[in-house]
Structure formats: structure tokens, C-alpha cells
Chains A and B, each alone.
Chain A
Amino acid sequence: MNWSLDKFSEQFWRATDLDDQIEVLLKAIGSFGYDTYLFGLVPKTTASRSRDFIMISNYDPEWLSEYSREEMFTHDRTISMALLSQDPILWSSLRTPEERSIMTPEEIHVHERATAWGYGTGVSIPLWLPNSTVRYGMSFSRRGLTDAKKHDAMFREHQQTLVSIAKLFFLGVDISGKIYSHYKLTDLELQIIALLANGRKVKEIAYALNKDQTRNSGQSYREPLSESALHQRITKIWKKVGTNNTNHLVAAFSQLGVTPEVNQSLPFVD
């Protein structure tokens, strides 16, 4: 029995954390015959660097590691299409001769590998925020499903509901934790980013972090940070996030909507 949008909305707003929200999503799309989802975003932090792709999904971990090892997102046709248009992309359209004739060999390879892993039939729904350079998208599929005609007919029949489920998930989900772990940022580094975003100077930050350390000594002791050590630390953060300087770093997090929160108990001298 296909879920109504009301049923989804009611259960989704009741979910208390990301895991709960994903569980509701899986149940909802399960009622339409899907068992696989992917929610992803392309931060577009720099133009020169290869694009980054952050996602949460329940794809087979081995397929995901092949995908990220070979940086397949740079040749993923569904992603490049989702950056250009807001219309849902039925994956079957990637198999038509017209589409094949304009796909690069790398793009065909990604599609063929996905199909080999059983992810050949499904749909990708671009999710755009009007004023953002960040692009989001949601894919639904069923592993091993090959009857694309049947899938596409089902999707068209329930398109409004499925697109709206994707939109409500998108507006309701907090994936900041996923983004921090994507960039492999430690708690200390997140706190440094938060303080930089609040306009604190390196000198102030070093002072407050060291003072805080002495205050809470005992647990997880850390060597005091000199200003130059903190500078090095910040340079390391730029590199992790793929930015060139602090302004760029702060802008990247604010574009993603995931600027970390300042620990209000830090002892600043104001």
C-alpha cells in the first residue's frame, strides 16, 4: 500500500534524529517498491578543484568504495544532469541511443558499473534551493530491478508524492555531522572553524582554547597551542576542506549551512 504524503509528513516530523528520519524515508519509499536511497550534495567549493560530492545512502558499501575510489561522481551523468535541470531523471533515459551518443566513455562506464551492481533502474530528483550554489539531489532505486518500463510508469503515476517526499526530507534533514565527517574534521577543528566564523582572531582563539584546557585539565589533556601551531592547524583545515584561505573556508561552511556552533563557555576576554 503506497504511503500518502500525509503519512510520510506525520511520521517524518516525529522522527528525532537523522537515523529515525532515514528509517521513515526507507519505509515510505519501500511502499512504492524502492529499497535504496541516496541523498547527496555537490558543494562546489572551488571551480578549479575536482568537485566534491557528499552523500548519505544505503548503497552496497563495496559499490560506494569503488565509486569514491575512482571518483566516479565527476563522470556521473545523473549528477551533471541534476546540476542543470530540476526535472526528475529516470535512469532508463541514460540507456537511450540519443543519450548514449552524447555521453562520454567515462559516463557510460559509471552507468554500466552501477547497473552491474544492480542499481540500473531508478530515478534521481534534483533538489534546488533558489539562492544557493550548493546543489542537492535524491535518488530512489531498487537493487536488481530490471523492468524499467514498469518502474517508470509507477514513478510517473506517483511522481508528485515521491518528489514531495524528497523535498520534505531535504528541508527537514540535518546532515552537518555527515559533512564534518566527510571532511574528517575533529571536534577541536570544528571549534576553531566556529570561532573563525565568529570573527575571532588567531591570538584570541589560542588564548581561549588554552585557558579552557587548563580549566578542564584531567580529561583528554592537550598540549597548549602556540599561535604559530594554531596557524598550522588552520592551514591543515583549509586543506581538508579544499579551500585556499580562511574567508573561503568560512564561506564554504556557510554556503553548506553547517557552520559549527561556538562553545559559549570558552573563556574570552572581551
Chain B
Amino acid sequence: MTQTPWTLDQFVAQFALARDLDEQIGVLKRAISSFGYDTYVFGLIPNTQPNEARDFIMITNYDPDWMQEYADRNFTPHDNVITHGLLRDEPILWSRYHTPEERELMTPEEALVIERSTAWGYHVGVTIPLWIPHSLVRYGMSFSTRWLMDFDAHDAMFEKHRHALVSMAKLFFLGADLSGKVFDHYGLTRAEQQIIALLSNGRKIKEITHLLNQEQARLHNGGDFSPITESALHQRVTRIWKKVGVKNTSHLLATMSELGIMPDSEFH
């Protein structure tokens, strides 16, 4: 560590100046690098109900190729850090996954995740679970260091600065606006976000069709445009369900509100 670790006051002062998520992430990266970290993952799992496919939305500066491998090989359900993070709220030092006792408890799939992340150089670090008590959504922040520290050096550093790093993760969590990332994750277009907003205000398909056509007419300033029909809107809504992986509109709205990212309502 060549730098003096940031104080929390330094962090919140810089964080308050950030104007959007990218700048907030920039502040986070500079703050954690003063502790010797170079990699972060801020992730959330929208649905922790058993029996449902587990989605995992994250922002991170991991190597994109590693992310690709992680997604392609469906590592999420076998990622011990995630499974453990869902169950407890104490920080999890990654070094524990490299002890013989812990190795013995792992399934072959779990061991593979650890092996592959180690091969990519992401094995020295910590995961800080971030819980909202009443929420089904689980959040977490990981900090790691690629080849800069060994387990002992890292764990000693973390213990020393534990309170500051945990507080930093919590303050980032309360202050970060993830809505854009969540929409991107589900591949929702602006128009689809607007439809969700209108549905969440209790608007009926008929009304929404009318409102959208009215808006189109306004934008075209009296010129020609092809109006959307109710059945076409129905199809678009069904496509939104599929994108988000829900079965109907109330399920869609419940999922969005669980994620805390109801899109802006109505028209501006």
C-alpha cells in the first residue's frame, strides 16, 4: 500500500460530488484503491425465493472475459460467496475458501468456481453482504486485489480497516442509483420503461394505448404517424414479461418495486 487509506469523510465528500452512477463508481474505485484493492463487484440478486431461477445483476470491473465465462458456465448458483452472502450479514473473507476444511464441504461445482476465479487472479478479497431486512432482494459488495496482496496481508489489512470498508460499502449502497443498470440487464428500452411506468400507475391497456398515441401525435406535431393498436400494446407487454422473466403484469410490477426501480411515471 503506497497511499494513505481514505477516511470515510473523504469518501462521502467525494461521493456527494458525483453526478451519476459512473462518477459514483469512480469515487468508489479511488477510495478502495487507497486500501490496496483494484477490483469491486456490487451485485444484487432480485429473487431469493427458492425454486426460482436466480438472476444476478452486477456492476463490476472484473475482466469481461471472466464475466463471460462466469455467465456461460452458469456459476451463480454454485458461487459460495453468493450463497453464504445470502445467509449472513458478516463480511466473508475469501481466504476461507482456500482452507482444507472448507474445501471438503464444497460440491465439485463450487470447487470449480473457486478454482476458476483463482486462475483469473480473483481470489484475495472480501464480500460484504448488504441487507435490507424486509427485502427479498439481496445485495452485496466485494473488494478484491489481483496479485497485489496475499491472503495474510489482505486479511490483516481488512481487519484493521474493517469498519471503514464496511461503512463505505453501505454508504455506496444507499447512495447509488442502479435503475439504469437494472433496465440494461433486462434489456428494457425507453419505450418499455415508459409502459411499465404507466402500468404501475394503474393505467389500463386501453388508456395506455391512447396516451402513447397522443404523445406520438404531439411529437409529430400534427404530421403523419402510425398509431399503435391495443393488441400491439398487449404483445409489447407480453414481451416485457418475457424479458424480465415474470408471468403477468402484477408479477412484473412486484419485481420492479422489489428492486426499488419503478421507472419515472407518466410523461414529462
Q: Which residues of A contact B (CB under 8 A)?
A: 4-6, 9-10, 12-14, 129-132, 134, 160-161, 163-164, 167-168, 171, 254-258
Contact = CB atoms under 8 A, between A and B. Distances in A.
28 contacts: A4-B8, A5-B8, A5-B9, A5-B12, A6-B163, A6-B164, A9-B163, A9-B164, A9-B167, A10-B163, A13-B163, A13-B167, A129-B132, A129-B174, A130-B259, A130-B260, A131-B132, A131-B135, A131-B258, A134-B134, A160-B12, A161-B12, A167-B170, A254-B134, A256-B133, A256-B134, A257-B132, A257-B135
A164 B171 contact: yes
B7 interface: yes
B9 A6 contact: yes
A247 to B, nearest CB: 14
Contacts of A257: 132-135
A263 to B, nearest CB: 20
Contacts of B164: 6, 9-10
Given A168-B167, A171-B174, A254-B134, A131 B257 contact: yes
Given A9-B167, A129-B132, 13 more contacts: A4-B8, A5-B7, A9-B8, A9-B163, A10-B164, A12-B163, A13-B166, A129-B174, A129-B260, A163-B12, A164-B171, A168-B167, A258-B133
Interface residues of B, number: 24
Interface in B203-259: 257-259
B7 A131 contact: no
Interface in B142-189: 162-164, 166-167, 170-171, 174
B120 to A, nearest CB: 31
A129 B131 CA distance: 11
Contact of A130 (B16, B134, B261): B261
Contacts of A167: 170-171, 174
B134 A160 contact: no
Contacts of B9: 4-6, 160-161
A255 B258 CA distance: 11
Nearest to B165: A9
